[in-house]
Amino acid sequence: MSETTAAQTGQQAPARRGAAYDSAFLRACRREPVPHTPVWFMRQAGRSLPEYLKIREGIPMLESCMRPELVKEITLQPVRRHKVDAAIFFSDIVVPLKAVGIDVDIKPGIGPVIADPIRTREDLQRLRPLEPDDVPYITEAIGLLVAELGSTPLIGFAGAPYTLASYLVEGGPSKNHERTKAMMYGEPELWAELVDRLADITAGFLKVQIEAGVSAVQLFDSWVGSLAPDDYRRSVMPASTKVFDAVASYGVPRIHFGVGTGELLGLMGQAGADVVGVDWRVPLHEAARRVGPGKALQGNLDPAVLFAPTSVIETKAREVLHSACAIGESGHIFNLGHGVTPGMDPDALSRLVAFVHENSQR
Ligand code: CP3
């Protein structure tokens, strides 16, 4: 008998019981009791680590994402060093765009730059759905990683339609997202088709990662906090919901994160997340109220706190743990309110992991 995947049958399958199934991280995602609060860091792999800078020497960012052995090593570096409760797959949100043929590069110190921005109906033709054959190196790297990680879960990820659209329409990083919003407000039909096509690419990218063995996925809508709730609901949420729906049947936890999203937390949960990521601007007990019952929360220490003395880091970390009590007995994943930044002291991060573990024993 041939194997049928949960996605093919279209049924709500129980979560896959891989070696990581009973890890503190996956248990917290499912809001089950945990021995200690699990902790990992967004952007834990990368320029804060000397071993990362060394291994990446001379290899452009996007090329490094296409080398499975290198991806495996970079993904494992922070797990070995910090003893975090989960690994995040080393890749980038623009990798699937490159894979479907968009001319994109990641410029050091700048970020993703698009050679030909997407601004007209004709431009949309360049955004075709992503097929597994477009990213064989992703499947291979995840296979290597899952074998090596054992009971440590691997988190897959993708960029959400709004955040990807902002890079594609602006042509690169942007402060005010003016061209993006001009299209959203001024050409709503073109916009709707753009984010719908991006939802298909993103869903395709997440499916490849889940089929290859990741045990949770995070949808990064990093820049969506620039929108008012009504605009989010009308112009963005349908596309994000399409992504979450497309992977629901696999039964792996789905995390949804953005920066400056205090006013959007409830809607971001409703879009289909099992876990809502919270930045540092809203305390977790208030975030729990805004998100409502039935969802785990991830966050939310201000990354800048890592630059303060150890005693301050510990006081602030304790405050996060205390605020998380409002979520209930379980259902909290400790993280920063945004990613690790290049100048951060790796030892401070390692100490923080140990501190969270010690101070959240059940
Ligand atoms: O979290 C991890 O450790 C996994 C790896 C990861 C990267 N990018 C590697 C990376 C993840 C999860 C991302 C997601 C990503 N990429 C997001 C969403 C997360 C967030 O921070 O909000 C966004 C917006 C991007 C786009 C992007 N790629 C930016 C803004 C940059 C930084 C540009 C710069 O040089 O300042 C990148 C490049 C990038 N992606 C780096 C890494 C480690 C740095 C590249 C390098 O080492 O030169």
Active site residue 47: yes
The verdict on the CB of residue 269 being under 6 Å from ligand 1 is no
What's the CA gap between 72 and 140, in Å, rounded? 10
Residue 301 token pair: 């220490």
The CB of 220 under 6 Å from ligand 1? The reply is: yes
Helix (H, G, I), strand (E, B) or coil at 105: strand
Is the distance from the beta carbon of residue 334 to the nearest atom of ligand 1 less than 6 Å? Answer: no
Q: Is the CB of 172 under 6 A from ligand 1?
A: no
What stretch of H or E contains 165? helix 161-170
Write the residue with the smallest CA distance to atom 24 of ligand 1.
Answer: 222
* Cross-strand partners of 157: 218
Is this model's pTM higher than 0.85 or not?
yes
Tens-binned pLDDT, residue by residue, of the chain (362 aa) = 334 444 444 444 555 679 999 999 999 999 999 999 999 999 999 999 999 999 999 999 999 999 999 999 999 999 999 999 999 999 999 999 999 999 999 999 999 999 999 999 999 999 999 999 999 999 999 999 999 999 999 999 999 999 999 999 999 999 999 999 999 999 999 999 999 999 999 999 999 999 999 999 999 999 999 999 999 999 999 999 999 999 999 999 999 999 999 999 999 999 999 999 999 999 999 999 999 999 999 999 999 999 999 999 999 999 999 999 988 768 999 999 999 999 999 999 999 999 999 999 98
Which residue's CA lies nearest to atom 17 of ligand 1?
Answer: 93
CA-nearest residue for atom 40, ligand 1, is: 92
Residue that the structure tokens 């540092």 belong to: 280
| Catalytic site includes residue 43 | yes
Question: Residues near 66 by Cβ (< 8 Å), separated by ≥ 6?
Answer: 137
Tell me whether residue 254 is one of the annotated catalytic residues: no
The C-alpha atoms of residue 222 and residue 259 are separated, in whole angstroms, by 5
Q: Is 167 a catalytic residue?
A: yes
The residues pairing with 158 across neighbouring beta strands, listed in sequence order, are 219
What would the two tokens of residue 267 be? 């809607």
